[in-house]
């Protein structure tokens, strides 16, 4: 590595953990777990990203309680047995050079819904007949997401105490399982973002009302998780920087929230958006063009002085590098593009001509690909 090495491929230290590059595979739910346990699919799915060269791989949102799942196919970490089954995933990611991380969360009023490819809405009689028994979701207020969605049960103060314990226990289990970073899911219309947003939180007690009240539970959980996480391991929080709906959460709220999170020892703000709508996890009202959420990461990074992760339609390695060079973010998340091409990081290195001899590839592949390239070069020379 030289001074000329693109930032994208320079290591970055987060507390005691060093990522070999700044490419992160963000959490992506596969809805393929069984009673919260990972399946072979998860190993194949996540393993590809580590072999593909990502600096960090964040496991999909993993529910801290059984009722905190979005669907019956969600991963869970509400029991020690889950951690035992997650441990081989963390170990494999690490063995291939990626930092293993996990997102923990609770679905809130989006709990008990269909897997996306079944309709991405509330469960239908057909889904229920197929075995997806519904449960009552939980939320700050007993207000459904939209017409036709289940009415959630309003959480009381004891519930919230239990929930805080569940996030702390989930963190300890994640560490025991070998994960080196935890991300708290405070985005996309799930429980914690519904507490944050005035579009979902209609409480009149200390956990609702003004911004301080709406932030309270997330900040308490951030404190609990930080305490449960060893000092040398970094803590991420994913936020929806804006609701992008009138009367909703705004960028100025995110700046206050990020500052409070920083004061509680959060290391990275992962800047997404939207979710307080029934249409999928994020908000279709935003104009989605390449890097459309980068301005949120940039503003939070500059204004609050905290590391940020940019995410959302970043697919071109040179664009990723420009974002880092501009100081708009510290980490680049590659989501659906990594589903399309799990070797994105290695191909990005190729785009910068960093590893023409395939030396950074796993030797099981690299040795052969180097021979292949030599053959191709010889053929080109005639």
Ligand X SMILES: Cc1cc2nc3c(=O)[nH]c(=O)nc-3n(C[C@H](O)[C@H](O)[C@H](O)COP(=O)(O)O)c2cc1C
Residues lying near ligand X in the complex (CB under 6 A) are found at 26-29, 60-61, 103, 185, 187-188, 238, 272, 281, 311-314, 333-337
Closer CB to ligand X, residue 5 or residue 39?
Answer: 39
CA 145 from chain centre, in angstroms, equals 22
Tokens of 107: 């679905």
Closer CB to ligand X, residue 103 or residue 283?
Answer: 103
Tokens of 91: 């170990």
154 - beta bridge partners? 139
Tokens of 31: 């809805």
Shortest spacing between CB 344 and ligand X, in angstroms: 10
SS3 at position 309: strand
The DSSP letter of residue 200 is T
Contacts of 109 (CB under 8 A, 6+ apart): 137, 138, 139, 143, 144, 145, 149, 150, 152, 189, 191, 194, 200
Closer CB to ligand X, residue 337 or residue 355?
Answer: 337
Give Cα separations from 251 to 153, 213, 310 (angstroms). 29, 17, 15
Shortest spacing between CB 198 and ligand X, in angstroms: 21
Give Cα separations from 6 to 22, 293, 324, 327 (angstroms). 10, 22, 9, 13
Shortest spacing between CB 175 and ligand X, in angstroms: 20
Shortest spacing between CB 313 and ligand X, in angstroms: 4
Shortest spacing between CB 185 and ligand X, in angstroms: 5
| Pairing of the two strands 23-25 and 56-63 | parallel
Please name the residue that has the structure tokens 């459904």.
Answer: 144
Closer CB to ligand X, residue 74 or residue 208?
Answer: 74
Tokens of 371: 């021979």
Which contacts qualify for 356-360: CB closer than 8 Å, 24 or more apart? 360/53
Which residue blocks in 190-327 are alpha helix, DSSP H?
A: 191-196, 211-228, 251-263, 294-304, 317-325
> Are 168 and 176 within 8 A, CB to CB?
no
Shortest spacing between CB 15 and ligand X, in angstroms: 21
Give the Cα-Cα-Cα angle 24, 29, 30 (nearest 5 degrees).
115
Count Cα neighbours of 69 within 13 Å in the Cβ-side half-sphere.
27
Closer CB to ligand X, residue 60 or residue 138?
Answer: 60
Shortest spacing between CB 206 and ligand X, in angstroms: 27
For residue 148, which of 115, 116, 118, 113 has the smallest C-alpha distance?
113
Closer CB to ligand X, residue 113 or residue 311?
Answer: 311
> Are 219 and 186 within 8 A, CB to CB?
no
Closer CB to ligand X, residue 85 or residue 188?
Answer: 188
| Pairing of the two strands 12-14 and 17-19 | antiparallel
- Which amino acids are annotated catalytic? 190
């Amino acid at each position: 590595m030289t001074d000329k090495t693109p930032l994208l491929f320079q290591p970055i230290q987060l507390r005691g953990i060093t990522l070999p590059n700044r490419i992160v595979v963000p959490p992506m739910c596969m809805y393929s777990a069984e009673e919260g346990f990972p399946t072979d699919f998860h190993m194949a799915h996540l393993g590809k990203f580590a072999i593909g060269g990502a600096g960090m791989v964040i496991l999909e949102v993993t529910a801290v309680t059984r009722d905190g799942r979005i669907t019956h196919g969600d991963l869970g970490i509400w029991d020690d047995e889950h951690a035992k089954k997650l441990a081989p995933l963390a170990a494999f990611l690490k063995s291939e050079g990626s930092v293993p991380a996990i997102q923990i969360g609770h679905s809130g009023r989006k709990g008990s819904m269909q897997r996306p490819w079944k309709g991405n809405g509330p469960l239908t009689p057909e889904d229920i007949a197929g075995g997806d028994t519904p449960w009552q979701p939980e939320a700050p207020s007993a207000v459904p997401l939209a017409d036709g969605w289940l009415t959630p049960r309003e959480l009381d103060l004891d519930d919230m105490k239990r929930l805080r314990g569940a996030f702390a226990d989930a963190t300890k289990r994640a560490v025991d399982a070998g994960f080196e970073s935890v991300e708290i899911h405070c985005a996309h219309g799930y429980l914690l973002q519904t507490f944050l947003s005035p579009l979902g939180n209609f409480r009149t007690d200390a956990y609702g009302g003004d911004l301080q009240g709406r932030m309270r539970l997330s900040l308490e959980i951030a404190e609990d998780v930080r305490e449960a996480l060893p000092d040398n391991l970094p803590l991420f929080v994913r936020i929806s920087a804006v609701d992008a709906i009138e009367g909703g959460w705004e960028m100025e709220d995110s700046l206050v929230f990020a500052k409070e999170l920083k004061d509680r020892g959060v290391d990275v703000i992962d800047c997404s958006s939207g979710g307080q709508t029934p249409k999928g996890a994020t908000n279709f009202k935003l104009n989605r063009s390449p890097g459309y959420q980068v301005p949120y990461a940039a503003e939070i990074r500059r204004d609050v002085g905290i590391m940020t992760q940019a995410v959302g339609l970043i697919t071109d390695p040179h664009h990723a590098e420009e974002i880092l060079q501009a100081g708009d973010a510290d980490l680049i998340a590659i989501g659906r593009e990594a589903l399309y091409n799990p070797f994105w990081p290695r191909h990005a290195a190729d785009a910068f001509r960093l590893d023409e001899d395939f030396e950074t590839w796993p030797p099981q592949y690299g040795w052969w690909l180097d021979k292949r390239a030599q053959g191709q070069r010889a053929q080109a020379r005639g």
